[in-house]
Amino acid sequence: MLSSKHEKVMEIAKRRGFIWPAFELYGGVAGFYDFGPLGTLLKEKIIQKWREYFVIREGFFEIDSPSITPEEVLKASGHVDHFVDAMTECKKCGAAFKVTDLVKEKTGRSVEGKSKEEMESLIKEHEIRCPECGGELGEIYDFNAMFETTVGAGKKKIAYLRPETAQGMFIDFKRLQRYARGRLPFGVAQIGKGYRNEISPRRGVIRLREFTMAEIEIFFDPENPTHPEFREVASEKLRLLLATDQERGTEKFTEATAEDALRENIVCSQLMVYNMARAKLFLTSLGIPEEAIRFREQTPGERAHYSSETWDVEVWTEGFGWVEVAGLAYRTDYDLSRHAKFSKEDLTMFVQDEGGAGKKILCHVVEPSYGIDRLLYCVLEHSLSEENGRPLLRLKKELAPVQVGVFPLLKRDGLPEKAREVLKKLRSEKFITEYDDSGSIGRRYARADEIGVPYCVTIDHRTLQDETVTIRDRDTKDQIRVKIGNLPRVLQELLENRVEFQQAGELVLPKSKAESTERR
């Protein structure tokens, strides 16, 4: 019997084709997962939603740069020297552990940014031993979390799989600022794989060694860190967990509007808090409740080497507690100044002030960075509910991997042939559909509900007489009848919320009767 929501989500995810352990035939490898047919569709829809929210609406430029990065780039960015985790190994069984994770699991305390001596003291104080065999833990040392590789034959060039997509956007800055025609602020976006050689990934899809990132670098004049559309989000309420409160050992929320957070100097700039508010709106558009979202300010010891202020966007889950799904970092001019120094290239930008006078500046950067795989898990967990003891994914209609189920009522009397005609018609209109003729109609509805299909189309004997079909609504269980000729238009209007379900066709089953029919 599955007890936790996390177990139920992962059972459905594995059984129905959302997420599978990678390399399963060979025992699997921790930190790697495959996305099955439904997971691939859901992931792509989350990416498309992100693109609509940020790239299209904000007018950002999207690029695609290589995953393999030469060593000199990551030396300039600081990753070769600073992208390290504190690691320890069991003296008995040799198992390796990330110290910050191990201490937090055993004590509930964060030791991010603490010295090795402080970490070792806590391990001794709390008598923390190897979770695998109970053996004594060895000394703590630094482990660089990047995957190293080489490029070319013969005298090989050292390179790494990129730990972030950001560096491609900084390297292309000279071309990008010309493309932007000197306009500030301007944003550059990139979606792609990131790689981190996690020491001991033991949190499923929350801690991966290969993952999908959706990152934005917003370049701006440090003397003018504003956003022209700030008034649109000024009244958005944000739940904030401040660094000062965390350092005192409390988890007290500070609730403030975006405008108040800026006025009270809680957040460093208008541009930063604008993107925090937009992050909240994006997450709620995915179906994540507002009360399950918080912004946690990283303490100075936690912040990455390039950041002077970072806010983690976190979502509450039953499976893992608060999960970071995005980070908003103020990277100052760190990256551009470092690349200018190491490459000997001028990465300043000429801009005109309001008086018409020109000046050369080195842009500063605000970076919103989203983890798509973690978002996918959070969307699944917050969509899962139960009806009459059966699981139901109440996914937002625009995110549903399968938009329409097509079912013949029976497997005889020409109904399957007619259903295949309807299926072909819908697929020609670019609907993502699934055909199912196995078992009773109630069981087929239940299977569709389990993967979040918003609408099911049933072909019955009346269809053969008058060319009408029923459409069943996942959430209300109501059914309407429409002409096959009108079916693509009606479904599109329903999926885009342009028409109420009861007004989209002839209502043929009241809710109570439909539910009792399905239970039978």
pLDDT, tens digit, 9 for 90 and up, residues 313-337: 999 999 899 999 999 999 999 999 9
| Residues 113 and 176 reside in one and the same domain | no
1 vs 27: which has the higher pLDDT? 27
Name residue, tokens 């208008």.
Answer: 270
Buried b (16+ CB within 10 A) or exposed e, 221-257: beeebebeebeebbebebbbbbbeebeeeeeeebebb
CATH (domain of 233): 3.30.930.10
CA-nearest of 167, 185, 178, 273 to 222 is: 185
| Residues 75 and 93 reside in one and the same domain | no
Is the separation of the CB atoms in 369 and 217 below 8 Å? no
Q: Is position 203 within any domain? A: yes
Q: For residue 503, what is the DSSP state?
A: G
| Residues 93 and 182 reside in one and the same domain | no
CA-nearest of 447, 448, 391, 442 to 10 is: 391
Other Cβ atoms within 10 Å of 265 Cβ, number: 7
Q: Is position 325 within any domain? A: yes
Strand order in the sheet with 148-151: 68-70, 157-161, 148-151
Q: Is position 392 within any domain? A: no
Q: Is position 108 within any domain? A: yes
| Residues 372 and 457 reside in one and the same domain | no
**Can you give the pLDDT at residue 486?**
97
The secondary structure of 161-209, three-state, reads ECCCCHHHHHHCHHHHHHHCCCCCCEEEEEEEEEECCCCCCCCHHHCCC
**Can you give the pLDDT at residue 509?**
60
How far apart CA 379 and CA 317 sit, in angstroms, is: 10
**Can you give the pLDDT at residue 413?**
92
Residue 214's DSSP bridge partners are 191, 370
Sort residue 369 into left (φ over 0), alpha (ψ -120 to 50) or beta.
Answer: beta
Domain housing 340: 5-80+146-382
Q: What is the pLDDT of residues 67-95, one digit of tens each?
A: 999 999 999 999 999 888 899 999 999 88
Examine the pLDDT at 511 and tell me if it is beyond 70: no
Examine the pLDDT at 517 and tell me if it is beyond 60: no
**Can you give the pLDDT at residue 154?**
77
Here the tokens at position 294 are 């918080």
Other Cβ atoms within 10 Å of 24 Cβ, number: 11
Q: Is position 387 within any domain? A: no
Work out the average pLDDT over 103-128.
85
**Can you give the pLDDT at residue 516?**
47
Residue 468's DSSP bridge partners are 483
Q: Is position 506 within any domain? A: yes
| Residues 119 and 155 reside in one and the same domain | no
Examine the pLDDT at 156 and tell me if it is beyond 90: no
Other Cβ atoms within 10 Å of 151 Cβ, number: 12
Is the separation of the CB atoms in 481 and 457 below 8 Å? no
Q: How confident is the model at residue 513 (pLDDT cuts 50, 70, 90)?
A: very low
Is the separation of the CB atoms in 381 and 287 below 8 Å? no
Radius of gyration of the chain (CA): 26
Work out the average pLDDT over 177-187.
93
Q: What is the pLDDT of residues 372-381, one digit of tens each?
A: 999 999 999 9
Q: Considering 321, 347, 382, which residue would you say is the last residue of a domain?
A: 382
Peptide bond into 185 cis (omega under 30): yes
Which residues, at least 6 apart from 56, have a Cβ–Cβ distance to it below 8 Å?
Answer: none
Instruction: Give the residue ranges of DSSP H helices in 344-486.
Output: 372-383, 415-428, 441-450, 461-466
**Can you give the pLDDT at residue 519?**
43
**Can you give the pLDDT at residue 510?**
55
Work out the average pLDDT over 96-101.
89
User: Phi, psi (5° rounding) for residue 361?
Assistant: -130, 155
Work out the average pLDDT over 335-346.
97
Mean pLDDT taken over the chain = 93
Which residues, at least 6 apart from 98, have a Cβ–Cβ distance to it below 8 Å?
Answer: 85, 86, 87, 198, 199, 200
**Can you give the pLDDT at residue 105?**
82
Between β-strands 433-435 and 254-257, what pairing exists: parallel, antiparallel or unpaired?
Answer: unpaired
Work out the average pLDDT over 490-499.
97
Other Cβ atoms within 10 Å of 126 Cβ, number: 12
| Residues 351 and 413 reside in one and the same domain | no
Examine the pLDDT at 1 and tell me if it is beyond 60: no
CATH (domain of 108): 3.30.40.230
Q: Is position 394 within any domain? A: no
Q: What is the pLDDT of residues 425-473, one digit of tens each?
A: 999 999 999 999 999 999 999 999 999 999 999 999 999 999 999 999 9
Work out the average pLDDT over 363-371.
98
**Can you give the pLDDT at residue 265?**
96
Which residues, at least 6 apart from 470, have a Cβ–Cβ distance to it below 8 Å?
Answer: 457, 458, 460, 479, 480, 481, 508
**Can you give the pLDDT at residue 514?**
42
Q: Considering 106, 128, 143, which residue would you say is the last residue of a domain?
A: 143
How far apart CA 481 and CA 474 sit, in angstroms, is: 15
| Residues 138 and 153 reside in one and the same domain | no
Indicate the burial class of 407 (C-beta count within 10 angstroms; 0-12, 13-18, 19 or more): buried
**Can you give the pLDDT at residue 256?**
97
Q: Considering 382, 410, 429, which residue would you say is the last residue of a domain?
A: 382
| Residues 407 and 366 reside in one and the same domain | no
Overall domain count for the chain = 3
Other Cβ atoms within 10 Å of 143 Cβ, number: 17
How far apart CA 429 and CA 280 sit, in angstroms, is: 33
| Residues 205 and 313 reside in one and the same domain | yes
Q: Is position 234 within any domain? A: yes
Q: How confident is the model at residue 2 (pLDDT cuts 50, 70, 90)?
A: low
**Can you give the pLDDT at residue 115?**
85
**Can you give the pLDDT at residue 477?**
95
| Residues 215 and 265 reside in one and the same domain | yes
Examine the pLDDT at 366 and tell me if it is beyond 60: yes
Percent helix, strand, coil in the chain, to 5, is 35, 30, 35
| Residues 151 and 124 reside in one and the same domain | no
| Residues 203 and 337 reside in one and the same domain | yes
Helix, strand or coil for residue 347? coil
